[in-house]
Amino acid sequence: MKRTIFVVLIGLTVIGCTFKTKNPQTAISETTIKKNDSSPLPNTYNESEFEGHDVNPGRIDTASFIFDTVDQMPEFPGGKQKLLEFISKHLKYPVTAQDIDIQGKVICRIIISKTGKVEKCEVVRSLERTCDNEAIRVLKTLPRFIPGKLNGKKVNVWYTIPVTFKLE
C-alpha cells in the first residue's frame, strides 16, 4: 500500500513538473490572494491580462547581497592547503574538550566580503560549545582572501569551512 502511494506521488510530481505554459517568460502563479481577502482567486486566468508585464524583478543589488555560489569563489592566499595550515597552527584545543575526549568537526560558514575580509562567522554544525567558540575565534583572525567574483565583479560570498578537533 505504501509503495503504491509513493508511486502515485512520484507520478503526480513528474506530471506537475512537465506542465508548460504557452509563454514561459510570462509564467505566473495560477493562484493569487487579494490583499484584504483570504479567499484565493479561481485557478484560471486570461493570458491577455498579463501581456506586456515584466516578470523579471530587475537587477540584484550585488553590493549588499551575499551569494552562496559565484563564478569565481573566494580563495585563501596560497590555496586550501595554506588555509588548513593556518587554522591548525592557530587553533588551541579547549582543555575542557580534551578532558572529556571530545573529537570531531565544527562546520562553520563565513562571509568573505568583496574586499576579501572575513565579515561574519557562524556555526552550521556544532560539536561542543568550547570547540565552537574556538573555531569562531580562529576564523575571525583569518587574513584577507582573494574575493569572489560574479560576472567579473567582486561580491560578498558565504564560504563554508570545517574545523577539525582531533586528539593525538
What residue spans define the domains of the chain?
Answer: 2-49, 66-165
Q: Give the residue-averaged pLDDT of 84-108.
A: 94
Percent of the chain with pLDDT over 70: 62
SS3 state at 72 = strand
Q: Is there a contact between 91 and 138 (Cβ–Cβ < 8 Å)?
A: yes
Helix residue ranges per DSSP H, 18-120: 80-90, 95-99
Each residue of 113-153: pLDDT tens digit?
999 999 999 999 999 999 999 999 999 999 999 999 999 99
Q: Is there a contact between 130 and 121 (Cβ–Cβ < 8 Å)?
A: no
Answer yes or no: CATH 3.40.50 is held by domain 66-165: no
The pTM score is 0.62
- Residue 61 is predicted with a pLDDT of 65
d(CA 108, CA 126): 8
